[in-house]
Homo-oligomer: A and B are copies of this chain.
């Protein structure tokens, strides 16, 4: 059976690292059909919208999507697409790799971020001149769903869950979130920790090795996962998955990096690791493991792009990964 993958490179280095990830998928003993599509700043210039209806259809009908990066119009592209794939969980592993400079070399975290609500509701108003509001939404349904996902994920990984929140201030909304997470935890007989997101930010910086899976409301997950990127040396190595019940979108956490775009020196590791997450989500666990191991090998003693202090090109790194498959 062939897997139908929508390929959406986007802007800037997205156009360099996404083809690299496709090359790696192509080199595997797994059958794929690839459907290219466009979104982002360049398309917005041409067509007047950063997210053409055709792209939405391609993503909707694919088994999964490989996404690159988008520039200025990022929010106009990625937020609707998370919705198109019905993604309620955003999974963001942040780990330090042997041989790669990291402020905290023991970091091995996975953020499981609620991907549908919180301050991402889109409900905003100017209710009087200079007086604006945003409605932060937290529901029992979404909170239970993300809790189930986080506990399942941690079980597979054999690791512990920490639940981030700010319920001392957001008493009703994060109160609801905590109540729902606790209900799921109780039903399943899970042990886990709860942590205020501010204190957690400090503890993650000081002692990341004490944490594993961190279950977060939407914005907390956005910020804490970027913080963790700092601990492992930057965004160049962080993949992510936007997971729904029967569709999913995979993307490097980094952006379109206009400063280095077009030079062929972008680090393809995050995009290739995102492809490994795609493989695992498709049930191709063995191939996923193969890709991950190949990337780790290259990171530890293969060619390096300039962000990691080397002078290799995107292609050099991609070939080195393919050679190790």
Contact of B176 with A201 in the complex, beta carbons under 8 Å = no
Contact of A234 with B202 in the complex, beta carbons under 8 Å = yes
- Report chain B residues within 8 Å CB of A133: 135-138, 172-173
- Report chain B residues within 8 Å CB of A139: 130-132
A199 to B231, CA, bound (A): 13
Q: Contact string, A185-214, partner B, CB cutoff 8 A, digits 1/0?
A: 000000000000111011111100000000
Contact of B173 with A201 in the complex, beta carbons under 8 Å = no
Interface residue? A170 (CB, 8 A) = yes
Interface residue? A140 (CB, 8 A) = yes
Interface residue? A227 (CB, 8 A) = yes
A317 to B169, CA, bound (A): 34
Contact of A124 with B230 in the complex, beta carbons under 8 Å = no
- Report chain B residues within 8 Å CB of A223: 197-198, 201, 223
- Report chain B residues within 8 Å CB of A28: none
* Minimum distance in angstroms from A93 CB to a CB of chain B: 15
Within 8 A of B (CB), among A134-190: 134-141, 166, 168-173, 175-176, 180
Interface residue? A219 (CB, 8 A) = yes
A85 to B199, CA, bound (A): 25
Interface size class, chain A: 35 or more
Interface residue? A260 (CB, 8 A) = no
Interface residue? A222 (CB, 8 A) = yes
- Report chain B residues within 8 Å CB of A172: 124-126, 132-134
Residue of B nearest to A198 (CB): B226
- Report chain B residues within 8 Å CB of A287: none
Q: Contact string, A101-136, partner B, CB cutoff 8 A, digits 1/0?
A: 001100000000000000110001110011111111
Contact of B205 with A134 in the complex, beta carbons under 8 Å = no
Interface residue? A27 (CB, 8 A) = no
Q: Contact string, A223-261, partner B, CB cutoff 8 A, digits 1/0?
A: 111110111011100000000000000000000000000
* Minimum distance in angstroms from A70 CB to a CB of chain B: 11
A141 to B129, CA, bound (A): 10
Question: Could you write out 16 A-B pairs with CB less than 8 Å apart?
Answer: A75-B168, A79-B169, A120-B169, A129-B140, A130-B141, A130-B180, A131-B137, A131-B140, A133-B137, A133-B172, A133-B173, A198-B223, A201-B230, A202-B234, A203-B230, A206-B234
Q: Which 7 A-B pairs have the closest CB atoms?
A: A205-B230, A130-B140, A124-B172, A134-B136, A202-B230, A201-B227, A198-B226
